[in-house]
Amino acid sequence: MRADEFIEPFEYPNPFCYPPALAKACGDPFQYAMKLSTGELIFFESAEPHSFDWVLIKPPDDPIDKNNRDIPLCDRGLYVRVSSIVWVADAPNGS
Asked if residue 72 belongs to a domain, the reply is: yes
Domain boundaries, position 79 = 20-90
Specify whether the CB–CB gap between 19 and 13 falls below 8 A. Answer: no
pLDDT along the chain (95 residues), means of 10: 51 69 91 92 90 88 58 78 95 83
The residues, any chain, with a CB within 8 Å of residue 11's CB and separated by 6 or more, are 26, 27
Asked if residue 9 belongs to a domain, the reply is: no
Asked if residue 95 belongs to a domain, the reply is: no
Per the DSSP assignment, residues forming a β-bridge with 90 are 32
Asked if residue 33 belongs to a domain, the reply is: yes
Q: What is the pLDDT of residue 1?
A: 47
Task: Give the total number of structural domains in the chain.
Answer: 1
We report the CATH number of the domain holding residue 26 as 2.30.30.100
Asked if residue 14 belongs to a domain, the reply is: no
